[in-house]
A = this chain, B = another copy of it.
Amino acid sequence: MSEVIDGAKEARPSADSLVRILEDDILNAVLRPGERLDEQSLARRFEVSRTPIREALRHLASSGLVDIKKNQGATVKRLTTGELIEMFQVMAEYEGLSARLSARRMTKEDVVEMRKLHEECAAMAEREDYGGFYETNNIFHDSIFRGSRNVFLQMESRKLRNRLNVYRRHITTPRSMTKSAYEHGRIVEAVTAGDAAQAHDLMREHVDLLAGAAADVLLALEAEGIE
């Protein structure tokens, strides 16, 4: 990564920094889906010219966070239900692959780390500490991504997770922490045992909230334009 120098937030940011700043704003819902991203306003706000703003917007566009229409400017990408489902399915696949690879490649130290995080997760569930569970759950999943020893997979899943997180607040997860923790346990066992196929399946099912026929129906409905 770049220097940590940009701690001084009043220094005029350069295109590079702008990408991250705008990205954060989108992920934290400072900029909301559908919102217009006017080049001049942004230029004034950051005290730079339109040029670096444009570059940043183009970058965000090709990473999927922003939507640019020719001669009509940029808006924060608004995802339809269908697109969200599609992306969740791919995310589930990423997670499944990470578990498969981890089952084959994790070192003893990796496994210890993973088990520790799993136990922390379980403890959070026990206490019904939702915030803590959410945090630890993320770290647990990350440990499995790292264990996969596939940097490309890690990058892609991180990008996708960011995009999905924009909508996290709208997704009131109906899942119980206890059930999640139980599933974590089974995944941990499969990975530890080196059972790649089992690890893959358990993980994909664990993550794929909308795996079932519900998704098929929703997609079909949307295909005929019902909103």
Contacts and interface: CB of A to CB of B under 8 A. Distances in A.
Interface of A: 2, 16, 54-55, 58-59, 61-63, 70, 83, 86-87, 89-90, 93-94, 96-97, 101, 104-105, 149-153, 156, 197, 201, 213, 216, 219, 223
Main secondary structure of the interface of A (DSSP, over half): helix
B59 A90 contact: no
A153 B55 contact: no
A152 B93 CA distance: 13
A84 B93 CA distance: 19
A162 to B, nearest CB: 13
Contacts of A59: 58, 61-62
A3 B58 CA distance: 21
A216 B105 contact: yes
A1 to B, nearest CB: 12
18 contacts: A2-B70, A55-B58, A59-B61, A59-B62, A62-B62, A83-B152, A86-B150, A86-B151, A86-B153, A87-B152, A89-B97, A89-B150, A90-B97, A90-B153, A93-B93, A93-B97, A104-B213, A197-B201
Nearest to A151: B86
Contacts of A149: 219, 223
A93 B196 CA distance: 14
A14 to B, nearest CB: 9
Contacts of A101: 89
Contacts of A150: 86, 89-90
A2 B89 CA distance: 29
A82 to B, nearest CB: 8
Contacts of A213: 104
Contacts of A16: 70
A209 to B, nearest CB: 16
Given A62-B59, A63-B62, A70-B16, A156 B90 contact: yes
